[in-house]
Amino acid sequence: MKKIAVLPGDGIGPEIMAEAVKVLNALDLSLQLDWADVGGKAYETSGHPLPPATLKLAQEADAVLFGAVGDWKYDKLERSLRPEQAILGLRKALGLFANFRPAICYEQLTHASSLKPELVAGLDILIIRELTGDIYFGQPRGRRTAVDGHFPGAEEAFDTMRYSRPEIERIAHVAFQAARKRNKRLTSVDKANVLETSQLWKDVVIEVHAQYPDVELDHMYVDNAAMQLVKAPKKFDVVVTGNMFGDILSDEAAMLTGSIGMLPSASLDANNKGLYEPSHGSAPDIAGKGIANPLATILSAAMMLKFSLNLPDAAARIESAVQSVLAQGLRTADIWSEGTTKVSTREMGDAVVKAITTTKTIKS
């Protein structure tokens, strides 16, 4: 029996997680679901956003299904106690270095994008972001009095952008392998014209490419990639990039699809153990109202079945069911438009369950 650590978290987290779990249960798989608090909820109950018991559960599980964490009311807490530290702690403890963010624009939702429908109809791209290195974690960092620069003697803050060869090699392998399973096209995004880190990134990606001659590789500077994503997003297939560029580009790609409430994500270790979560946050503005879109979390559960539990057919049943409810015209408020039927979080989950139990698998 496979063990799943279920961590609903804060805000809309518990509401959307309840629907994802309902969907998993409808598949009648042999899964053991173990629940634990995380984020602000865990801070309230045990004084830390990632208590030892939650971490242990995650470490012992085959995969982690994560809702969302955070609330503005915790903004004044010292950094190490803020809810978002739970995600960073889990990534570090579980060795999750590869973040997969698909951006798929469902045919029925093309109008929800801020781009013209013809630019996004059928969009299906995958952004792979390195998660453990880069300027987010590089030392040294801090605040000090400047000894040089334009304003010696002034207060200054500094961070360090760093990447080592093995860090780049392992994410490059993941990206080439992912590209192989899709359309065999990979774009590596960097800023090699300005940054040493990016130059090493580019050199290593080119070296690793020698092992994947069947995959077409191109390189793009991050500023151009940001432009191309809104100009002609369908030109991309798989994109691989560092932590900071990936953070920004994956959010940009998410918005092309219209609603952040539709987008799943996966963060994987070297053995495909992973943490699966919606791309959005805890949405405190709509928490408790029963209107959040649960589909990103439901689709994250599908990614979990595919990547960590090796159950691609079960994953495909979820994906088909989501397509089916959209085709029926069911929409939560974030994706609602004239002529479609507005449903609550729970009604959307129920509809996916119904579609799973009544429709056949479209793809396997």
Show which residues are catalytic. 136, 191, 223, 247, 251
* 17 interacts with ligand NAD by CB under 6 A: no
Site string for ligand NAD, 246-275 (x = CB under 6 A): --------------xx--------------
Residue 293 is assigned to a ligand binding site: yes
Nearer to ligand NAD, 135 or 260 (CB): 260
Position of tokens 């920004």? Answer: 248
Round to whole Å and give the CA distance between 330 and 294. Answer: 12
Spatial CB neighbours of 20, under 8 Å, sequence gap ≥ 6 = 65, 294, 297, 298, 300, 301, 349
Residue 223 is assigned to a ligand binding site: yes
The dihedral through the CA atoms of 264, 266, 272, 275 has a sign that is negative
| Out of 134, 167, 334, 350, the residue judged to bind ligand NAD by CB under 6 A | 334
* 331 interacts with ligand NAD by CB under 6 A: no
Residue 287 is assigned to a ligand binding site: yes
Q: How far is the CB of 41 from ligand NAD (least distance, A)?
A: 12
Give the interface segment with ligand NAD, choosing from 66-74, 96-104, 139-147, 350-358 (CB under 6 A). 66-74
Query: What is the residue-wise DSSP string for 107-139?
Result: GGGGGGSSS-HHHHTT-EEEEEEE-S-GGGT-S
Number of residues lying near ligand NAD (CB under 6 A) = 22
Measured between its terminal Cα atoms, the distance across the chain in Å is 22
Spatial CB neighbours of 105, under 8 Å, sequence gap ≥ 6 = 113, 120, 121, 122, 123, 124, 256, 257, 258
> CA dist 178 to 125, 156, 213, 238, 271, Å?
11, 41, 14, 8, 14
Round to whole Å and give the CA distance between 196 and 207. Answer: 17
Instruction: Give the DSSP H/E element, type plus range, for residue 21.
Output: helix 13-26
* 280 interacts with ligand NAD by CB under 6 A: yes
Give the interface segment with ligand NAD, choosing from 185-193, 219-227, 249-257, 292-300 (CB under 6 A). 292-300
* 237 interacts with ligand NAD by CB under 6 A: no
| Out of 148, 214, 285, 338, the residue judged to bind ligand NAD by CB under 6 A | 285
Of residues 298, 300, 344, the one with CA closest to residue 321: 298
Question: Are 58 and 87 a contacting pair, CB within 8 Å?
Answer: no
* 283 interacts with ligand NAD by CB under 6 A: yes
Residue 49 is assigned to a ligand binding site: no
Q: How far is the CB of 71 from ligand NAD (least distance, A)?
A: 5
Site string for ligand NAD, 74-93 (x = CB under 6 A): ----------x--x------
Q: How far is the CB of 102 from ligand NAD (least distance, A)?
A: 16
* 329 interacts with ligand NAD by CB under 6 A: no
Round to whole Å and give the CA distance between 203 and 195. Answer: 13
Q: How far is the CB of 350 from ligand NAD (least distance, A)?
A: 16
Contact footprint for ligand NAD (CB under 6 A): 12, 16, 68-71, 84, 87, 260-261, 277, 280-286, 292-293, 296, 334
List, as residue ranges, the binding site for NAD(+): 281-293
